[in-house]
A and B are shown apart, each in its own frame.
Chain A
Amino acid sequence: MSTTGTIDPDALQLHRSYLVRYAILQLRDPHLAEDVVQETLVAAIENRSKFSAQSSLRTWLVGILKHKILDLMRRQAREPQLDVADGEDENDLIDSLFEKDGHWFAPPQAWADPEKSMENTHFWETFEQCNQRMPVNTARAFMMREFMEMSTEEICQELSISTTNCWVLLHRARLALRECLDLHWFGSTR
């Protein structure tokens, strides 16, 4: 299908829905996601000579998409934001999970065979929904870290926040995801 420099446009379309879902998770806006994927596909066709048949087409496309997403987020960061209030008071969620003396309000209970959940399609739907449910900046930092596998330094730079803030965002994201998974997945089998 793909020798160097030749990419079948139909083959690109096959990856389209995957790329859109990837972009939605990071951008949380279906329209922006569609736009950025469109840009990615155009860039892929324009630069098809750089594609080497040694790598998988999807991996190559995701690489381009990551750049496009970061570009878009940088452009957004420069534009004045109307919706600054995101309900993201730094310690809201963290504080709500602990007593005043720092003990868990409800200590985490063990999860039954989490590895097995990974084979279940419904688990992945729940996981995706829990990701979508996080506040925007929290989700963004978490996705950069775990999904795009960026370092904390890179994330701080992209979001123009301090390292400490970055750790707080990631901590909050993990707590939020844990709560959500516990509530909507693991808790129901208990």
Chain B
Amino acid sequence: MLNCKQSSELLSQALDRPITFRERLAIRLHLLICDGCRNFDKQLTFIRKAARELPRKF
């Protein structure tokens, strides 16, 4: 079982490399039981979107 620290690590890496089937499964299992990491996951997506939008906001 992943803990939150490992899960946050994988969620971040998923934005930088293709993650394996096993990793994806482990994340999904963890997200089922963890509100904090579910929020973190959504926030990562938002942060990426915002960072890529930033140059257009100057």
Contact = CB atoms under 8 A, between A and B. Distances in A.
Interface string B5-28: 110110011011100000000000
A167 B13 contact: yes
Given A107-B39, A109-B39, A127-B54, A177 B4 contact: no
Nearest to B43: A178
A22 B57 CA distance: 11
Interface residues of B, number: 32
A22 B58 contact: yes
A110 B39 contact: yes
Given A102-B5, A114-B46, A147-B52, A21 B58 contact: yes
Interface stretch (A28-36, A45-53, A74-82, A168-176): A168-176
Given A102-B4, A118-B50, A111 B39 contact: yes
B57 to A, nearest CB: 5
A124 B4 contact: no
Given A171-B12, A174-B12, A147 B4 contact: no
Nearest to A21: B58
A21 B55 CA distance: 9
